[in-house]
Amino acid sequence: MMGRIMKRFRAQSEPDGVLETRDRPLNDVPNGYPRLAVFQSFEPSYSLYRGFSYLHSRLLLDMQEELTTLEKELDDLDWDDADFDPARHRSREVDVERAALVEGGRNRRVIMSEIKAKLAEYDGLLMNACAIRAFQKPSTRVYTNMRRWHYNNQPLMDLETDTIRTKDDLVTLRNGRELARFDAWVESSLESLLGRLDYWLKILFRLNRPPLVRLLQTPELRRLLGNDSEVGFYSSSRIDKVVSVLVSFIIFILLVLPLVAIYRLTHPYTDSSMVRSLCVLGSFALIFSATISIITKATRQEVFAASAGYCAILLVFISGSGT
C-alpha cells in the first residue's frame, strides 16, 4: 500500500530522447586545429587568444599621424579663407557652392570628408583596443597547463606555435572577477594541496585516478577531456564556488570577530550570554553570505554590503534585547 502511494509521488524518468546530448570529446576529433579548437572552447579559462596590442598601437599611431596631417591641412585652408574669402567661414552653403566652382584641388569639403571617414575608423579601432585591454590576463596556472597540453599533444607544427609563446599578449575570454588575484591564488593552492593528497591516496588505496582533483571537475568537463582529465584542468564554476565560500569566511572574520573581541574587552566581568549571542550572529552571518555568494550572481562588493547590513540588523536586535 505504502509502496503504491510512494510510486505516485516518485519522479518519472525522462526518455532517452530528452536526455540525449551531443558534444565533442577531445580525443574524438583529429589532432591539429580541430582538437585545439575543442580544447580552447570547453572552458572559458582556456579560451586564450592574442590581443595584438603591438599591432593596435602601430595602427593607432599611423592613423593618428594621418589625422594630424589632415587637421593641419584644414587649419591652413581656414586661415587662407579668413584672409581672402571670409564669407566661407560664415556660411556652409556658401562654402559648398564655391567649392563646386573649383574643379579638382583639395577644398574644405574634400578634407572634411576624409577627416570624417578616417576619424570614424580611428575611433572604432581605439574603442576596440580599449575593450581588448580590459580583458583578463590568463593566470600562471592556466598558462602553464596550456603549454603543458601543447607539449604533450603537439596539435600544431612548431612554426605555428608562436601565439602560445606570447604570454604577455594573451587574453582570456573568461569573465573578469573583482578579485582575480585571489582566485588565481586559490586555484594554485588547491592544485598544490589536492595534488599532494591525491599522490598519497593513490599509493595507500592503489587508485588509478586522483580522487580529490576530480571534485573540481564537472562530469561534462571530464567527459570532454577524456585521458587528459587528470592534468590540472578545473571547472571555473567549481573554483568560483570554493572562492565564494572563502570570501564568506573572510567577511565573517572582518565583521563578527571584531564585535566579539571589543565586547570582551569593554565588558570583561559580564556573563557570556552576550558573547553567545554574538556567536549566533556570526554563524548566521556566515550562512547568509555563503548563501548569497552561491545562489545569486552578486558581486563581491554586493555580498559584503549585504552581509554588513544583515549583521547590523541582527546587532540592533541583540542590543535592544540586552537593554
175, 186: one domain: yes
> 228: pLDDT confidence band, cut at 50, 70 and 90?
low
Residue 6 lies in a domain: no
Q: Residue 37 and residue 183: Cα distance in Å, rounded?
A: 25
45, 144: one domain: yes
> 257: pLDDT confidence band, cut at 50, 70 and 90?
confident
277, 315: one domain: yes
301, 174: one domain: no
Comparing 21-35, 91-105, 124-138, the range with the smallest average pLDDT is 91-105
Phi, psi of 12 (to 5 degrees): -80, 135
> Between 295 and 105, where is the model more confident?
295
Which domain range does residue 270 map to? 237-322
Q: Residue 90 and residue 124: Cα distance in Å, rounded?
A: 32
Residue 5 lies in a domain: no
Residue 29: CB partners within 8 Å, gap ≥ 6? Answer: 35, 38
> Between 235 and 254, where is the model more confident?
254
121, 100: one domain: yes
pLDDT for position 70: 93
> Between 98 and 153, where is the model more confident?
153
Cα dihedral 201, 205, 206, 212, rounded to 10, equals -40
142, 83: one domain: no
75, 173: one domain: no
Residue 221 lies in a domain: yes
Comparing 30-44, 157-171, 271-285, the range with the smallest average pLDDT is 271-285
Residue 120 lies in a domain: yes
- Number of domains, the chain: 3
245, 310: one domain: yes
Which of 98, 133, 168 is the last residue in one of the domains?
Answer: 133
36, 177: one domain: yes
Helices (H), 209-299: 219-225, 236-255, 257-266, 273-295
DSSP state of 29: S
155, 36: one domain: yes
Does the pTM surpass 0.85? The reply is no
Which of 116, 133, 150 is the last residue in one of the domains?
Answer: 133
Angle in degrees, CA 127, 133, 136, rounded to 5: 135
Residue 13 lies in a domain: no
Residue 59: CB partners within 8 Å, gap ≥ 6? Answer: 125
30, 178: one domain: yes
Residue 1 lies in a domain: no
Which of 133, 166, 199 is the last residue in one of the domains?
Answer: 133
pLDDT for position 169: 93
Residue 182 lies in a domain: yes
230, 146: one domain: yes
Q: Residue 314 and residue 285: Cα distance in Å, rounded?
A: 9
Comparing 162-176, 194-208, 262-276, 290-304, the range with the smallest average pLDDT is 262-276
Query: Strand 170-172 relative to strand 48-50: parallel, antiparallel, unpaired?
Result: antiparallel
pLDDT of residue 107 exceeding 80, the answer is: no
